[in-house]
Amino acid sequence: MAEMTYRDAVAAAIAQEMAHDPSVVLIGEDVGAAGGVFKATVGLLEKFGPNRVVDTPISEQAILGAAMGAAMTGLRPVAEVMFSDFFAVCWDIVANEIAKARYMTNGQVSLPLVIRTANGGGVRFGAQHSQSVESWAMSIPGLKVVAPSTPRDVIGLFAAAVRDPDPVIFFEQKSLYPTKGEVEEGELVDELGRASTRRQGTDVTVVALAAMVPRALDAAEALAQEGVSAEVIDLRSLVPLDVTTIAGSVARTGHLVTVEENPRLCGWGAEVASIVAEECLFDLDGPIVRVTTPHAPLPAADALEDAAMPSVARIVEGVRRSLA
């Protein structure tokens, strides 16, 4: 086991897959010589050369158009969209072309590509560079959606994404880049659609994603001081969604709280709540509670951003409301 930052795990994950498969290429703005704007691709240009690590113009449409064409003709491209907010300028290629190519060609064309992007708030970048947009991607048929919370899962889930035959949106929560975690030695390959139970509990199920997972774990620790045993589930991927793990946990605890960084309206937690209400209604002993950001642009000011995003205190309060 070795300790590694989330940022370094991204570079290690890409390097693992580029070494594993010579058809894997990395393209995006500043991914090569600069090592990425978040320094998450440092060393890859030197290791794999300019034919496989390609700096592009500042054009998300060009990046994803090139990635789509490369995937259609035998490569496995990894394309970086620097900030997830910038999907707004290339969403037609993602939602109408990449997501639908396999379906519209009756399976004759597959698109084994990964779109990496820095997602979410917590680093004071303001409303246009701090959005949590995983629910945008989740709503599009044909896309798989992944959001790791630990350095170890960055590597394992990235490998699964690259080796998948379908397009995967890989959300890296930017406030997690400096965080550290233990990573096993050797090749790591996970399976998409498998949640991870980060903490066992008996009184309430807390479901979280990406940067909200460590906050949910901190909340569970605080709740334990009150005699409340919270089970914390890290979804890890939204599509495929591990309904089995969620439903099994709720059947044991009787309570569900979702912790979402995305704005409340149509967030992924609403889908989880809907599924649990349909599949586990008679297991529930209290209301489903969603802890989210408000349906408003995320502010840049420190105190305001902190107030908008789910905090440990708000998660604890959400659990109390469910148990009450």
Residue 318 near residue 257, CB atoms below 8 Å: yes
The per-residue b/e assignment along 110-144, b for 16 or more CB within 10 angstroms, e otherwise, is: ebbbbbbbbbbbbbbbbeebbbbbbbbbbebebbb
Question: Where is 220: in which H helix or E strand?
Answer: helix 212-224
Q: Which residues contact 106 (CB under 8 A, 6 or more apart)?
A: none
129 an active-site residue?
yes
Q: Give yes or no for a cis peptide into 240 (omega within 30° of 0).
A: yes
Q: Give yes or no for a cis peptide into 178 (omega within 30° of 0).
A: no
Residue 209 near residue 267, CB atoms below 8 Å: no
Tokens matching residue 42: 């440092």
| Candidates 20, 129, 255, 295; catalytic one | 129
At residue 46, the 3 state secondary structure works out as: helix
Residues annotated as catalytic (active site), given as ranges:
129
